């Protein structure tokens, strides 16, 4: 465990060593503003809450989060530095988790920089700030789930663009698994399977957290999803590292 912070620190710093971090944060802030005020009708609703802000996060993350996850392993394999990393005295757990946490904290930083939204809504009215905090937590967990998927896809593909496309596709399946377009495909299946597939949906889970309802099952859902995808990442890294 002792080397995890070292890996974490290097990875986080590497985001800021290139323009990637700044471009990402800028686009994230601009888009989340556009979605909130134009598509979400923040003013027209006349309600002091951030529902229009959070309700678009799932779709925003679908394209932005794979962009920060795609380099995690693909870049290491492309440049060959994975051979250096994996022959240093660190465990696979430390490498996989350290990289993931760095990306997750980076996503958290981007998310925190949307604080003017909170100030705005507090200036205009009297929102329930508890709900807002819960929604931020939910949004961060959602980003973590997207990142864990992206991390695994990045380990799978040597090419960053392919890693990106794979991550978007798999993430999309997780978003829409509660919608009729997926559930209809399971028309033949027993009800328990349909329910199981529907319960995987990011939309449903995130929706309830962003309304301020923190259900332990929802937290557990996101955390176990992250753990499962990271475990898959570790396996894939081992299988693919030498190719």
Partner 1 sequence: MIEISNLTKRFAQHTAVDDLSFQVRRGEVLGFLGPNGAGKSTTMKMLTGFLAPTSGTARILGHDIRTQTLQAQRLIGYLPEGAPCYGDMTVRGFLEFIAEVRGFRGADKRQRVETAVAQVELEKVLGQTIETLSKGFKRRVGLAQAILHDPEVLILDEPTDGLDPNQKHQVRQLIQGLAQDKIVIISTHILEEVSAVCTRAVVIANGRLVADGTPLELESRSKYHQAVTLVSEGPLDEVALAALPGAAGVERNEREHSLTVLAQPGHVIFPQVNALIAERGWAIRELDVERGRLDEVFRTLTRGEAA
Contact residues for partner 1 (CB under 8 A)? 2-3, 6-7, 10, 13-14, 17-18, 79-81, 83-84, 86-91, 241-242
Tokens for 22?
């700044």
For partner 1, the closer CB: 14 or 159: 14
For partner 1, the closer CB: 11 or 218: 11
For partner 1, the closer CB: 86 or 176: 86
For partner 1, the closer CB: 86 or 173: 86
How far from 144 is each of 32, 78, 139, 232, CA to CA, in Å?
Answer: 18, 24, 9, 15
CB of 228 to partner 1, least distance (A): 24
CB of 103 to partner 1, least distance (A): 16
CB of 164 to partner 1, least distance (A): 19
CB of 91 to partner 1, least distance (A): 7
Contacts of 138 (CB under 8 A, 6+ apart): 54, 206, 209, 210, 214, 218
Tokens for 149?
């998927």
* Distance between CA atoms of residues 37 and 52, nearest Å: 8
CA angle 210, 36, 183 (to 5 degrees): 55
CB of 80 to partner 1, least distance (A): 4
CB 151 within 8 A of CB 100: yes
Identify which of 104, 107, 86, 109 has the alpha carbon closest to the alpha carbon of residue 3.
86
Longest CA span, the chain: 58
For partner 1, the closer CB: 12 or 168: 12
């Amino acid at each position: 465990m002792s080397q995890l912070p070292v890996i974490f620190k290097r990875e986080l710093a590497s985001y800021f060593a290139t323009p990637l971090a700044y471009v990402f944060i800028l686009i994230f802030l601009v888009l989340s503003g556009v979605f909130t005020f134009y598509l979400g009708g923040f003013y027209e609703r006349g309600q002091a809450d951030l529902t229009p802000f959070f309700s678009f996060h799932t779709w925003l993350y679908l394209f932005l989060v794979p962009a920060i996850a795609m380099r995690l392993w693909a870049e290491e394999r492309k440049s060959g530095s994975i051979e250096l990393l994996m022959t240093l005295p660190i465990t696979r757990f430390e490498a996989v988790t350290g990289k993931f946490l760095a990306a997750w904290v980076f996503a958290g930083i981007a998310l925190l920089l949307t604080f003017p939204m909170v100030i705005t809504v507090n200036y205009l009215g009297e929102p329930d700030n508890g709900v807002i905090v819960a929604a931020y937590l939910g949004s961060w967990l959602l980003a973590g789930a997207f990142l864990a998927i992206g991390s695994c896809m990045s380990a799978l593909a040597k090419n960053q663009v392919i890693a990106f496309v794979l991550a978007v596709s798999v993430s999309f399946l997780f978003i829409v698994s509660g919608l009729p377009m997926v559930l209809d495909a399971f028309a033949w299946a027993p009800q328990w399977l349909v329910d199981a597939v529907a319960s995987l949906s990011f939309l449903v889970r995130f929706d309830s957290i962003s309304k301020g309802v923190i259900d332990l099952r929802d937290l557990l859902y996101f955390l176990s999803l992250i753990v499962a995808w990271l475990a898959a990442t570790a396996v894939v890294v081992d299988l693919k590292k030498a190719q």
